[in-house]
């Protein structure tokens, strides 16, 4: 009698745990490859595994044991109910960033607005916004040509029309006026390197993760560049590190003295977003 799915997966999971990797990751990759739900898994877990499946599973376990992210193994990650291609040139989209998209959508209607996503990576923010707000004119900027290749493929696949620009922060948009500026920029300080998960440190693009000046360098530049491009009624939505709320708020309050700058918590109760909005009072 051959090996049954649950026995093989159990062994693989225990092996990964010993390597300091979450054991569940192999079941996740296995179910994704099979296109199975948890219910399918319960129905089939005592079935025999084929030699082809066994071979694929061993390859996947080997990569996971080296802390290679499951999303890179599969080549995709789900974000805001859509599937995005990912590879080592792009960050893997995070659930916290879905909260940034949620907030932006909750506060803005589908009237015609010029929106800029700075540091777009996979295009997850830009594409999710455009899918929900078809009237928005969405521009997405990234300094990495390789990331933009992935973002353009995602936009095409998800049938969203985005204008992509390769360049450094707001520099490619210098001729434009922006109603909404949104960004999940690199914000991890070099001091936090040791605290990062091995898979993140080893495989995700460092230029999309780390920033100088205790992780504040990109916010400092955005605060300097944004006033020239943002319309009088314009708004800014930023994802931040959980310890950066007050520092980022101060930067943008100085850059926009007449606007209201707020720090907003994520669902876990950590400071996660900073918003810049027009004051309701009119002079």
Task: Say if residues 120 and 126 touch (Cβ distance below 8 Å).
Answer: yes
- Asked whether residue 167 is marked as a ligand-binding residue, the answer is no
- Asked whether residue 275 is marked as a ligand-binding residue, the answer is no
Q: How far apart are CA 184 and CA 171, in angstroms?
A: 17
Please give the helix or strand (H or E) that residue 240 lies within, else none. none
- Asked whether residue 20 is marked as a ligand-binding residue, the answer is no
- Asked whether residue 269 is marked as a ligand-binding residue, the answer is no
Distances (CA, A) of 222 to 118, 151, 167: 9, 22, 14
- Asked whether residue 187 is marked as a ligand-binding residue, the answer is yes
Closest by Cα among 33, 37, 26 to 70: 26
DSSP 61: H
- Asked whether residue 122 is marked as a ligand-binding residue, the answer is yes
Q: How far apart are CA 276 and CA 237, in angstroms?
A: 7
132-151 residues labelled b (16+ CB within 10 A) or e (exposed)? bbeebebbbbbbbeebbebb
Please give the helix or strand (H or E) that residue 180 lies within, else none. strand 178-183
Closest by Cα among 184, 114, 173, 201 to 147: 184
- Asked whether residue 231 is marked as a ligand-binding residue, the answer is no
- Asked whether residue 142 is marked as a ligand-binding residue, the answer is yes
- Asked whether residue 121 is marked as a ligand-binding residue, the answer is yes
Binding site, annotated residues for S-adenosyl-L-methionine: 119-123, 142, 184
**Binding site listing for substrate:** 184-187
Numbered residues of the known binding site: 119-123, 142, 184-187
């Amino acid at each position: 009698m051959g090996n049954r799915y649950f026995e093989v997966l159990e062994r693989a999971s225990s092996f990964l745990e010993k390597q300091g990797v979450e054991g569940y990751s192999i079941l996740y990759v296995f179910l994704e490859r099979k296109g199975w739900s948890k219910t399918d898994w319960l129905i089939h877990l005592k079935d025999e595994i084929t030699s082809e499946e066994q071979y694929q599973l061993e390859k996947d376990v080997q990569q996971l044991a080296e802390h290679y992210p499951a999303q890179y193994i599969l080549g995709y990650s789900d974000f805001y109910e859509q599937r995005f291609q990912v590879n080592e040139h792009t960050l893997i989209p995070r659930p916290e960033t879905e909260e940034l998209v949620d907030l932006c959508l909750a506060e803005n209607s589908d009237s015609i607005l010029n929106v800029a996503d700075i540091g777009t990576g996979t295009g997850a923010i830009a594409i999710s916004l455009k899918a929900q707000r078809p009237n928005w004119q969405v521009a997405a900027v990234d300094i990495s040509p390789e990331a933009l290749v992935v973002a353009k493929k995602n936009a095409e696949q998800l049938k969203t029309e985005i204008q992509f620009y390769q360049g450094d922060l707001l520099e490619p948009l210098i001729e434009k006026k922006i109603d909404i500026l949104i960004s999940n920029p690199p914000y991890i300080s070099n001091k936090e390197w040791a605290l990062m998960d091995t898979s993140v440190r080893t495989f995700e693009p460092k230029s999309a993760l780390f920033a100088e000046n205790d992780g504040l360098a990109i916010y400092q530049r955005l605060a300097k560049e944004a006033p020239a491009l943002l319309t009088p009624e314009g708004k800014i939505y930023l994802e931040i590190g959980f310890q950066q709320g007050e520092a980022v708020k101060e930067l943008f309050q100085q850059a926009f003295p007449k606007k209201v700058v707020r720090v907003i918590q994520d669902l876990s109760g950590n400071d996660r977003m900073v918003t810049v909005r027009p004051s309701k009072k009119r002079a």
